Structure 1
Amino acid sequence: MKKIFLILLTSLIAAAPTFADDASKKAVATELYDLMSPKDTVIDSFMASFEPYMQQIAQMGVPKEAVDQIRAEGKALAGKIAEDPELVTKMIAIYMDTFSEAELKDLIAFYKTPTGKKALQELPTLFQKGAVAGEEIAQKYLPEFQTKVQQIMEKAMMEQMEAAPAQPAVPSEAAGATGM
């Protein structure tokens, strides 16, 4: 019994630095999250990605009042997401999985500089503008893509039809007997 206790105690002592390292890394990841993801940033990011859809809805002829109501509902949803404690927990875990403690500290140092602060402020807009630019460029290639997809699907359907065993024809008398 003493042997088992000593083995367990030795294991716990050996693991103690890992627990301390994880706690330290979690504290640094939390600091980065607090720096990068205040509620307004989360809402702004969400709304920046939501805005192209609002523009599409408006172009479809939806009245401005309805578009404004949808936009307001989107902002309310973004606020709920931003305030959800589960988001904080998940984001901190993502930071910890993605970066070492030293890298987290480097990011914190950067985001505390004037350039880092500006980057945090401008990133949602940059992502939204990038998405719009990507959509515009995709439109150039969409017809060719759609043609290729259609050709692939037609070929696959033909191959499937050729591979399927031929179904015997049902004589019309038999069809009448079944009530068809």
Structure 2
Amino acid sequence: MRNMLAIIVAVVVAYSPVCIANTKSDSVAKLLEVMKIDDQMKGGFEAMLPTIHQLAARLQLSADETEELKNIYRDWFQNDVDRFYIGSQIADLYSDTFSQSEIEEIIQFYQTPTGRKLVNKSPELTKLGAQIGLEEAQRKQQQLLEKLTPFIEKHQP
């Protein structure tokens, strides 16, 4: 009887980390689902569009050519960027950063009306935030060039 109890305890102890890992992994998967991670990635792509417009302006592209350039980027994003890989890497980040209970709390938040609003608005907010950053960088480009010029001159062959 003691041997049987010892075996049961050993099995429970041995498999507990696996069960915890699966539970945490499942929770992270649910978190990414309620966060609509694929939509967030698409929002990140949309945030790149001002940069693509800048490239089109530098190349002096027509509206049709600009649209063609955007379509090249869209095709690349849709067909070449491995969003599953990115999602799994993001899952690892969340898993490494948050405890099981914290992940569950975040999931609960994202299931509230405010959390759902955040999920739905995040792609557009990301895009707008990127535009704000890009505009400020453009306004301060001269200051950057003034700081870079001595460095570049110093390091030219």
Map residues 124-139 of structure 1 onto 2, 5 A cutoff: 124-139=123-138
Tell me the residue number matched to 1:114. 113
SS class of match (1:17): helix
Does 111-120 or 69-78 show the bigger shift?
69-78
Alignment root-mean-square deviation, CA? 3.0
Cα offset for 1:108?
0.9
Tell me the residue number matched to 1:50. 48
The whole-number CA distance in structure 1 between the counterparts of 2:144 and 2:83 is 40
The whole-number CA distance in structure 1 between the counterparts of 2:26 and 2:112 is 20
Pairing 1:143–2:142 present: yes
The whole-number CA distance in structure 2 between the counterparts of 1:24 and 1:86 is 21
Conserved? CA contact 2:38–2:83, under 8 Å = no
- Residues 89 and 145 of structure 1: CA distance in aligned 2, closer, same or farther (over 3 Å): closer
Q: Percent identity?
A: 23
Which sections of structure 2, spanning at least 5 residues, go unmatched? 1-5
Amino acid at match of 1:114: P
| Matched residues, number | 149
Q: What is the TM-score when the length of structure 2 is the normalising length? A: 0.75
Cα offset for 1:82?
7.3
SS class of match (2:61): coil
Amino acid at match of 1:52: P
Cα offset for 1:38?
5.1
Tell me the residue number matched to 1:86. 85
Tell me the residue number matched to 1:3. none
Residue-by-residue CA offset, 1:79-129 (whole Å, 9 max, x unaligned): 336775333322222221121111111111111112211211211221222
Which sections of structure 1, spanning at least 5 residues, go unmatched? 1-5, 162-180
Cα offset for 1:67?
1.8
- Residues 134 and 149 of structure 1: CA distance in aligned 2, closer, same or farther (over 3 Å): same
- Residues 150 and 84 of structure 1: CA distance in aligned 2, closer, same or farther (over 3 Å): closer
Amino acid at match of 1:143: Q
